[in-house]
Chain A
Amino acid sequence: MKPVKVLLAAAAALALAGTAAAQEGTLKKIKDTGVVKIGHRDASIPFSYLDDKQRPIGYGVDICLKIVDAIKAELKMPKLKVEFVPVTSQTRIPILTGGNIDIECGSTTNSVERQKQVAFAPTYFMTGTKIIVKKSSKIKGYDDLKGKTVVFTAGTTNERAMKAYNDEKKLGINFIPSKDHAESFLAVETGRAAAFPMDDILLYSLRASAKKPADYVIVGEFLSDDPYGIMMRKGDEAFKKLVDKTVMGLYKSGQINKIYAKWFQSKIPPKNINLGFPMSAALKELIKNPNDKGVEACGKMKC
């Protein structure tokens, strides 16, 4: 029994350490260490991804840098260092709650379930689940996936929405997990999987960076609504207030339109493609009346 006890004790100690860091207050932590740690993604184009020099860039990263400016002003620390930490769909929440990053700037859906663990800034993009398939597959919608193989990025809301749909309609889909969006798309590209459910904006950008974009189509009705938000630790009112104020300030001053146009309606690295994705009515409304409301985890199906 002894080794088991030691293990339990170690795990308990870790758990305690995790909560201690979370309770301390992010602003105090940043002040003490002189570093603000930003979590970023590697292939969430154009929100948060790596350019050809492996630097994190994107719409979300730009907004987070504005937040860093606000932190600098608030703490009167103009030389605050910024450290970028890569996260994945699966690691982003534990890394944030564990204290290794202070904010996450990616493509994270604000869901009611995640709100039990973390807090979200006002929604900065509105999207929803669709699927990408090969044009030659003749798949027109979700019901055509009966008995087929579907790849998903582990830890995403799209995984849940697709699985809930599969359970409800009894499609008998064979699911295979993958660790990031690029790898999931590779599975469709190589024919390992027939479809990949993901937020439609990410599918458009994956298609735009594919070898032969014309070979793929994005089909289906929205299976879920996915509002994106910047994540931070829960229960840290002072920090959330500062973040919210900064984001809403961008909305009010109209600066957001410039940032939006830079990433969605101009040529972006690494391949100099223009997504040509005008701002949706839903996002315009959110910019006028910002909120940080979450959505149900299983999309339009029941969990």
Chain B
Amino acid sequence: MDFSVFFQPAFSGGGIYLDWVFSGIKWTLLVSILAWIIAFTVGSVLGVLRTTHPVALRAPATAYVEVFRNIPLLVQMFIWYFVLPEIVPEGLGNWMKGEMPMPEFWNAVLCLGFYTASRVAEQVRSGIQSIPDGQTYAGLAVGLTRAQVYRHVLLPMGYRIIIPPLTSEFLTIFKNSSVALTIGVLELTAQARQISEYTFRTFEVFTVATVVYVLITLAVTVAMRALENRVRVPGYMGSGGK
């Protein structure tokens, strides 16, 4: 094991190989966090729609979830990057391929975001549906509208209930972001591969990459734990063991 490799001058672009690692971390974080924002927003809307009664609202949300969670992420990445520009109108397609800034990056963000949204949607739905119907009826009985029941009764409880599975999902998005390397985003795994290709120091490079992933996910776990404790409803589920 010889970790001095990270301080050797990099092959291209000036700087040392450690700079490549940091650049990789930057792109991993950017892809993951932006994708998470999309996933959380879109997933929340879809999850709520899946618990509503009108079929016109429920069916499209269900269809979305089934399509996006049943196609492998790797395949979706290729569809966004290689197929989509060919099936949209030619002008838009050419823009996506040529003029669009950082096409690999934005494709990865959108793909990962919309894929994870389908999983978040299921968790939001299960969170809402785990609340006893009695609470909805109670809300309606005191004169709240359906929207108000969601806003003041179901969602505040539902989100609290699903914090643990959402944490897993949030962690997964950091690890799934490595799939972006297949369309050319130089995130952490891609940089690790590249450095090992240039220096042949495979073990050192992937050890560092592994440690970085562990640190990122540990930080997320700690933050989500803190959030969970902060918003906990005293006397309600999940606080029994404390």
Pick the residue among B12, B97, B197, B203 that contacts A155 (CB under 8 A): B197
Interface check B1, CB cutoff 8 A: yes
Which residues of B are found within 8 Å of A14, using beta-carbon distances? 203
Indicate if the CB atoms of B1 and A192 lie closer than 8 Å: no
Judge if B39 is at the interface, Cβ distance under 8 Å.
no
A8 contacts B1, CB within 8 Å? yes
Do A154 and B82 contact each other (CB < 8 Å), given the known contacts A7-B210, A176-B104?
A: no
Bound-state CA distance A167–B9 (Å) is 14
- In whole angstroms, how far apart are the Cα atoms of A272 and B104 in the complex? 35
A190-B96 Cα distance, complex, nearest whole Å? 11
- Closest CB-CB distance, B147 to chain A, in whole Å? 45
> Which residues of the partner chain A approach B184 to less than 8 Å between Cβ atoms?
151, 176-178
Known contacts: A154-B197, A167-B13, A191-B94. The answer to whether A15 contacts B82 by CB under 8 A is no
Complex-state Cα separation, A176 to B190, whole angstroms: 11
Is the beta-carbon distance between B13 and A154 smaller than 8 angstroms? no
**In the complex, chain B residues whose CB is within 8 Å of the CB of A90:** 193, 197
Q: Is A273 an interface residue (CB 8 A)?
A: no
Chain B interface (Cβ within 8 Å of chain A)? 1, 11-13, 82, 85-86, 94, 97-98, 103-104, 181-182, 184, 186, 190, 193-194, 196-197, 200, 202-203, 206-207, 210-211, 214
In the complex, the answer to whether B211 meets A4 with C-beta atoms within 8 Å is yes
Q: Which residues of B contact A190 (CB under 8 A)?
A: 82, 85-86, 97
Question: Who on chain B is nearest to A93 by CB?
Answer: B200
A12 to B204, CA, bound (A): 9
Distance between Cα atoms of A167 and B11 in the complex (Å): 10
Choose one: B13, B202, B211; the contact of A7 (CB below 8 Å). Answer: B211
- Chain B nearest CB from A21 CB (Å) reads 15
The 15 sampled A-B contact pairs (Cβ below 8 Å) are A3-B214, A4-B214, A7-B210, A7-B211, A11-B203, A15-B1, A15-B203, A93-B200, A149-B98, A151-B184, A163-B11, A177-B184, A177-B194, A178-B184, A186-B82
| A73 interfacial contact with B, CB 8 Å | no
Residues of B within 8 A of A176 (CB): 104, 184
Q: Is the CB of B82 within 8 A of A11?
A: no
Least distance between B107 CB and chain A CB atoms (Å): 10
Q: A residues touching B (Cβ–Cβ < 8 Å)?
A: 3-4, 7-8, 11-12, 14-15, 90, 93-94, 116-117, 149, 151, 154-155, 160, 163-164, 166-167, 176-179, 186, 190-192, 303
Which A residues lie within 8 Å of B211 (CB)? 4, 7
- Cα distance, A149 to B214, chains bound together (Å): 34
Complex contact B206–A11 (CB within 8 A): yes
| Pairwise interchain contact B193-A192, C-beta atoms closer than 8 A | no
When A and B form their complex, which 6 residue pairs have the shortest distance between CB atoms, in order from nearest?
A176-B184, A163-B12, A155-B197, A191-B97, A11-B203, A11-B207
Nearest neighbor of A178 in chain B, beta-carbon distance? B184
Evaluate contact between B12 and A8: CB separation under 8 angstroms. Answer: no
Note all chain A residues with C-beta closer than 8 A to B210. 7
Chain B residues whose CB sits within 8 angstroms of the CB of A12 once the complex forms: 1, 203
| Known A11-B206, A192-B103; contact A303-B11, beta-carbon cutoff 8 A | yes
Complex: chain A residue closest to B199, CB-CB: A113
CA gap between A176 and B82 in the complex, in Å:
14
